[in-house]
Amino acid sequence: MTERVGFYRSPIGMLKLTLQEQRQLKRVEWSEEMSFQPLPEKGVFREIGAQLDAYFAGSLRQFSLPVFWEGSEFYQQVWRCLCTIPYGETRAYQQMAIQCGHPKAARAVGQAVHRNPIPIILPCHRVIGASGALVGYAGGCEKKRFLLRLEGALA
């Protein structure tokens, strides 16, 4: 399988974007790479960059990008549920487990959220602890806090 990689400079750090061969977004990773190629000016990378620009400007509330779902059926179900959390709102892991139809599987849902390969686009930053704590985020809690403040979910 051929993959293509591009980099996007966001307000909270460099993002490494990976497309799978059919031009679907496969991964978004936080990157520390100092040298990078800007996103191509056309095609799927251009659309991803435009939507990320709009999101960080506060004018995009829901992404509409072609996504390559790579994971177990359970993980994919949880990731689809992530996409139903409205912009500016949060959900606890237990709420997500109930919503996904697995009310006794909050820990397993937490693992699926943790393994989300496409953060920001699949908004795992909107999932918080039952107490309201900003628990765990691949990019770190400061990035999670930034994203939730951007969306108005935190003061």
pLDDT of residue 34: 63
The backbone torsions φ and ψ at residue 45, rounded to the nearest 5 degrees and listed phi first, read -60, -40
Q: Where are the domains of the chain?
A: 3-56, 73-150
Residues of the chain with pLDDT under 50: none
Cβ-Cβ contacts under 8 Å for 94 (sequence gap 6 or more): 103, 106, 130
pLDDT of residue 18: 92
Q: Of the CATH numbers 3.30.70.270, 1.10.10.10, 3.20.20.140, 1.10.1070.20, which one belongs to the domain with range 73-150? A: 1.10.10.10
Write out pLDDT tens, residues 89-131: 999 999 999 999 999 999 999 999 999 999 999 999 999 988 8
Whether 83 sits among the annotated catalytic residues: the reply is no
The backbone torsions φ and ψ at residue 73, rounded to the nearest 5 degrees and listed phi first, read -60, -40
CA-to-CA dists, residue 45 to 58, 115, 130, 143, angstroms: 20, 23, 36, 23
pLDDT of residue 87: 97
| Residue of 83, 100, 124, 141 marked active site | 124
